[in-house]
Amino acid sequence: MNLSAETPLQQENSELAALVQRASGTSVQEIQKLIAELQILRDMLQNEAARVQREIVKYAILTQGARQSMRTISESLSFWKIDRDASRVSA
């Protein structure tokens, strides 16, 4: 009897082990690829979030400037109205 020859069961186990190893290797590669893609997407989202934050700051500054301009215009108009009303009273 040849001790080095595999029995059908041992051969089947070896084939199954090789199949599982190939399948798990593929799965690990797919997972690593997905992780890399997710990291790229995370970086893109972080960059977009930073851009949106900068835009919000610019908008807030613009809004504050517009509010100040409106306040100045309103004050100027109220002075003109007071001055005009005072002219009517003295006339």
Q: Could you tell me which of 12, 30, 11, 33 has the C-alpha nearest to residue 22?
A: 30
Q: Is 4 helix (H, G, I), strand (E, B) or coil?
A: coil
pLDDT in tens, 32-74: 999 999 999 999 999 999 999 999 999 999 999 999 999 999 9
pLDDT in tens, 18-34: 888 877 777 888 899 99
Q: Is 46 helix (H, G, I), strand (E, B) or coil?
A: helix
The distance in angstroms from the start CA to the end CA of the chain is 134
Q: What pTM does this model have?
A: 0.54
Report the distance separating Cα 51 and Cα 55, nearest Å: 6
Give the pLDDT band of residue 78 (cuts 50, 70, 90). Answer: confident
Amino acid identity at 36: A
Report the distance separating Cα 87 and Cα 81, nearest Å: 10
